Structure 1
Amino acid sequence: MRSTEWRTGLADFSDCLLTGLLVALAAVPVVTAPPAFTAGCRALDRSRHGIGRPLWTTFWADFRETARGGSLFALGCLAAVVVFAVDLEVAASMPGAGVLRPALWALAAVAVVVAVRTCAVVATGEPSWRRAVVTAARETAAAPGNALLLAGAAGLSVVLVWMLPILALVVAGPLALAAVATGGPR
């Protein structure tokens, strides 16, 4: 019995890394990043519950399905990143920069958690991206502990890619697993 436990854990780990690689491949055009991440969340959620094999084919089917509405969400995320970068530059030259910069980074962390959780909400059954954003924001406010865990996972993903850039090819898999695992009951 014990000899099969490590195989199950290794299979879960390999599914996570394969999902990260598939998400990176599907997210090459930046506008497809949220649908790709959503498909990764959906694939790992199915894998966690033992349904939907093989991962390769289910991922691409899920990606095609979520790409319909996810591109508009991606454009919104890109616009938010641009606004954040501009605000950060403006805040650097303002008198209260010591207070404003940390507040902007905290706001950015909350926005990242809501965006990642939105993808997880769409992955677990919400067909509308608009309603998924509202649901993700409610879940973030209702469960701050889970939001902190997800923010930690996102922060760790950024640090790992900063330390070793090649990890950008697989880091989306563990982040997708964290997003699905910290989501509320659906």
Structure 2
Amino acid sequence: MSHAPASAPVVRPEARKEPGEVFGPGFTLFADMLLVGLLTAVACLPVVTAPAAFAAASASLRESAASGVQVRLGAYAGHLRARSTPRGLAAGLLPPAVAALLLLDHAAVRAGLPGSAVAAPALLLLALGAAVVGLRATALAAPGTLSAREALLRSCADPRGSALLAGALVLAALLVWSMPLLVPLLPGPLAFAATVMEVRYEAGRGAE
């Protein structure tokens, strides 16, 4: 008596992923990034809420990737409330402080003060590095975690990911300079880039 060969398990199209793909085709990337970008831009308006807003964006993207459900306003608001801790709001004072430092540096360069030609690019590189570490800090998986130390360690341990994230920041700055109307949409791709870097870093550590 012959037996029919067992059929191979059927893999649903939405479950397939290309090699190296993080979110899979079921992740509605464009729509989610647009919504997350707009929500994060609005949440950043008080300035001190910027780290919590980016952390909420990253958490929303992680949740959407895990469940396959599109980002919702209520889910984002819940993540934002969970991350609006005193520590997170205090971290929100750093971006305006860095911006003020860059403005002072620009004023020094225009005034032709001694050493300004060297200090200007050094401060720009320092600001770019701080932005990379800050973005990685907001993309950490643990709720309520905004650890600059952990983000700095990960940035150093993953130079390739940090370089890609720095490139994304430079591109965002160029877009702001050339097309200021895109500003409300840029937080989405930046949060996505930081989240991808962290997801890949965590997967790499888990495989060791």
TM-score range, shorter chain: 0.7 to 0.9
Q: Name the CA distance, whole Å, in 2 between partners of 1:180 and 1:10.
A: 14
Q: List per-residue Cα deviations over 1:119-162 (Å, max 9, x = no partner).
A: 112xx115343xx1101111111111111100111111121222
The corresponding residue for 1:86 is 104
Q: Name the CA distance, whole Å, in 1 between partners of 2:113 and 2:44.
A: 36
Within the candidate set 53, 59, 77, 2:76 is matched to 59
Q: Name the CA distance, whole Å, in 1 between partners of 2:174 and 2:129.
A: 17
Structure number with bigger Rg: 2
1:119 and 2:138 correspond: yes
Q: List per-residue Cα deviations over 1:38-60 (Å, max 9, x = no partner).
A: 10111112222226655221100
Instruction: State the TM-score, normalizing by the size of structure 2.
Output: 0.76
Displacement of 1:116 in angstroms is 1.0
The corresponding residue for 1:48 is 65
Displacement of 1:80 in angstroms is 2.6
1:32 and 2:46 correspond: no
Distance 1:54 1:173, change over 3 A: closer
Q: Name the CA distance, whole Å, in 1 between partners of 2:62 and 2:94.
A: 25
1:75 and 2:112 correspond: no
Write the letter of the residue equivalent to 2:97: A
The corresponding residue for 1:143 is 158
Instruction: State the TM-score, normalizing by the size of structure 1.
Output: 0.85
Q: List per-residue Cα deviations over 1:9-50 (Å, max 9, x = no partner).
A: 682210111100111111121121111111011111222222
Within the candidate set 140, 153, 158, 2:168 is matched to 153
The corresponding residue for 1:103 is 122
Could you say which structure has the greater relative contact order, defined with CA pairs below 8 angstroms and 6 or more residues apart?
Answer: 1
Q: List per-residue Cα deviations over 1:45-91 (Å, max 9, x = no partner).
A: 22222266552211000001111232100012322322233234335
Query: Does the 8 Å contact 1:43/1:59 carry over to 2?
Result: yes
Structure 2 residue runs without a partner (length 5+): 1-11, 17-24, 204-208
Q: Name the CA distance, whole Å, in 1 between partners of 2:126 and 2:106.
A: 11
Write the letter of the residue equivalent to 1:38: A
Displacement of 1:97 in angstroms is 3.2
Query: Does the 8 Å contact 1:23/1:40 carry over to 2?
Result: yes
What's the RMSD between the two structures over aligned residues? 2.6
Query: Does the 8 Å contact 1:34/1:71 carry over to 2?
Result: yes
1:163 and 2:182 correspond: no
Query: Does the 8 Å contact 2:55/2:83 carry over to 1?
Result: yes
The corresponding residue for 1:12 is 29
Q: Name the CA distance, whole Å, in 1 between partners of 2:180 and 2:117.
A: 30
| Number of equivalent positions | 181
Identity of aligned residues (%): 33
Write the letter of the residue equivalent to 1:178: A
The corresponding residue for 1:175 is 190
Q: Name the CA distance, whole Å, in 1 between partners of 2:70 and 2:196.
A: 19
Higher helix share: 1
